[in-house]
Structure 1
Amino acid sequence: MGNVDIDLFKPELVFFDFEATDRFEFFKKMEAVLLEGGYIKDTWYDAITTREKNFPTGLQFETISVALPHVDPEHLVKPYIAVIRPKDPVVFEGMAGIGGDIPAELIVNLGLTEHAEGQVAVLQALMGVFLDAGAVEDIRAQTTPEGMVATMRRLCA
Structure 2
Amino acid sequence: MVWEQLKEELIFPKLEASNSKEVFEKVGGKFIEEGFCKDSYVDALVNRESEFPTGIDVDGFGIAIPHTDISHVNKAGIAIATLENPVKFVQMGTDNEEVEAKVIFMLAVDDPKKHLELLQNVLAVLQDKDVLNKLSNADRCSEIINIVKEKESK
TM-score (norm 1): 0.86
**1:34 aligned residue:** 31
**1:135 aligned residue:** 131
Where does 1:53-132 land on structure 2 (aligned, <5 Å)? Answer: 53-62=50-59, 64-97=61-94, 99-115=96-112, 117-132=113-128
Contact 2:48 2:68 in 1 (8 A): yes
Residue 113 of structure 1 aligns to a residue in which SS? Answer: coil
Amino acid at match of 1:92: F
Of 91-100 and 68-77, more deviation after overlay is shown by 91-100
**Can you give the 5+ residue segments of structure 2 that lack an aligned partner in the other structure?**
none
TM-score (norm 2): 0.87
Q: Give me the whole-angstrom Cα distance separating, in 1, the residues matched to 2:103 and 2:37.
A: 21
Q: Give me the whole-angstrom Cα distance separating, in 2, the residues matched to 1:18 and 1:152.
A: 18
Q: Give me the whole-angstrom Cα distance separating, in 2, the residues matched to 1:29 and 1:133.
A: 25
The Cα of 1:5 is off from its aligned counterpart by 4.8
Contact 2:2 2:122 in 1 (8 A): no
Where does 1:5-16 land on structure 2 (aligned, <5 Å)? Answer: 5-16=2-13
Find the partner of 1:45 among 29, 42, 46.
42
Contact 1:9 1:152 in 2 (8 A): no
**Can you give the 5+ residue segments of structure 1 that lack an aligned partner in the other structure?**
none
The Cα of 1:63 is off from its aligned counterpart by 5.2
Of 103-112 and 30-39, more deviation after overlay is shown by 30-39
Of 11-20 and 141-150, more deviation after overlay is shown by 141-150
What's the CA shift string for 1:14-68, capped at 9, x where partnerless?
1112111111122122233222211110111221111111100000111521000
Contact 1:31 1:44 in 2 (8 A): yes
Amino acid at match of 2:132: V
Q: Which has the higher strand share?
A: 2
Amino acid at match of 2:84: K
Q: Give me the whole-angstrom Cα distance separating, in 2, the residues matched to 1:139 and 1:29.
A: 19
Aligned length: 153
Amino acid at match of 1:130: L
